[in-house]
């Protein structure tokens, strides 16, 4: 008989995480199908679709004409086309945007409402999943499809897995679990993404940053060799002229604050607090720790003290 231990919304960093099942209610899956799906996505997304093997998923972005990121997603081959996982807050808007010029293409793009996105992470997670699946993905094959189920492997900040399941398959899996496992919500997966350095783009921060400002170049989520795509001219100019002025990082502090996403980040310079960046995401960790993902200007001294505008809590840059 399965035994799920509720964490009462407590979130833990990757190096302290026990075996945990995570319901990803803050993420969604979009499905792209049709004869022109590959060609169409090639003209829309920042990666080269020709280089995406069926055995792997990749981080990429959908940008507007000005080269600002509308959404970030993890893209992979799915069923008869492609699937990508992105933040639910931006999903419907992003799907509407990417559909704009699809009228003359043989393609269908829609958010799937009949799937469950479930994360597994923590101590001995691989050996645990091997009790239920014949094969588990790894670095050399980061996507596996098995009996209408899809498993994605993530290596950062520690080994973890994302399962795409039907509701019935999810319920069957839950019934099969016969050992203690912690159960948590999306905030736990959000923290793991922040630790991994994946930019979190919700609706409030959509179309505010170029890909380089949120480290997508360092994460190999941009192709500078393929043909034209949305925002390509601006993105290429920033790359070749080396004029990116921002970077993504995360800060830590103590306390309990609830700032709005998109709030200004300030730093202390000569006894004055100056605006230096923006807040992308926040997670309260364990009992009194705060992790925030931010975009800062490159000119900032990483040894500085930081705070969220309107709050007194002092943050420091988390060093890897």
Binding positions for folate:
27, 189
CB-based contacts of 50: which residues, under 8 Å, 6+ apart?
42, 226
Which residues contribute to the annotated binding site?
A: 27, 189
Q: Phi and psi at residue 135, in whole multiples of 5°?
A: -140, 145
- 8 A C-beta contact, residue 225 and residue 46: no
Please check whether residue 28 is in contact with residue 88, taking contact to mean a CB–CB distance below 8 angstroms. Answer: yes
- With helix as H, strand as E and coil as C, how does the chain read? CCEEEECCCCCCCHHHCCCEEEECCCEEEEEEECCCHHHHHHCCECCCHHHCCCCCCEEEEEECCCCCEEEEEEEEEECCEEEEEEEHHHHHHHHHHHCCCCCCCCCEEEEECCEEEEEEECCCHHHHHCCCCCCCCECCECEEEECCEEEEEECCCCCEEEEEEEHHHHHHHHHHCCCEEEEECHHHHHHHHHHHCCCCCCHHHCCCCCHHHHCCCCCCCCCCCCCCCCCHHHHHHHHHHCCCCEEEEEEEEECCCCCCCCCEEEEEECCEEEEEEEEEEEEEECCCEEEEEEEEECCCCCCCCEEECCCCCCEEECCC
Map tokens 């992105």 to a residue.
Answer: 86
């Amino acid at each position: 008989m399965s035994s799920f231990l509720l964490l009462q919304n407590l979130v833990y960093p990757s190096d302290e995480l026990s075996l945990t099942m995570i319901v990803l209610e803050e993420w969604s899956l979009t499905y792209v199908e049709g004869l022109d799906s590959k060609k169409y996505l090639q003209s829309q997304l920042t990666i080269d679709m020709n280089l995406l093997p069926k055995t792997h998923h990749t981080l990429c972005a959908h940008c507007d004409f000005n080269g600002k990121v509308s959404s970030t997603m993890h893209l992979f081959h799915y069923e008869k086309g492609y699937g990508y996982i992105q933040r639910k807050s931006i999903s419907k808007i992003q799907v509407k945007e990417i559909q704009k010029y699809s009228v003359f293409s043989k393609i269908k793009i829609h958010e799937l409402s009949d799937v469950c996105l479930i994360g597994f992470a923590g101590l001995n997670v691989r050996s645990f999943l091997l009790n239920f699946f014949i094969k588990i993905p790894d670095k050399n094959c980061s996507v596996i499809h098995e009996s209408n189920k899809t498993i994605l492997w993530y290596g950062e900040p520690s080994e973890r897995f994302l399962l795409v399941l039907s509701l019935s398959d999810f319920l069957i899996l839950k019934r099969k679990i016969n050992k203690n496992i912690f159960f948590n919500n999306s905030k736990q997966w959000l923290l793991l993404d922040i630790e991994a350095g994946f930019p979190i783009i919700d609706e409030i921060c959509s179309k505010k940053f170029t890909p380089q400002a949120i480290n997508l170049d360092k994460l190999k989520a941009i192709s500078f060799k393929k043909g034209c795509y949305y925002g390509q001219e601006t993105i290429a100019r920033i790359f070749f002229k080396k004029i990116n002025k921002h970077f993504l990082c995360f800060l830590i502090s103590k306390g309990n604050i609830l700032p709005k996403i998109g709030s200004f980040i300030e730093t202390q310079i000569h006894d004055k607090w100056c605006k230096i960046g923006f807040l992308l995401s926040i997670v309260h960790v364990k009992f009194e720790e705060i992790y925030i993902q931010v975009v800062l200007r490159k000119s900032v001294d990483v040894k500085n003290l930081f705070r969220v505008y309107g709050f007194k809590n002092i943050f420091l840059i988390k060093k890897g």
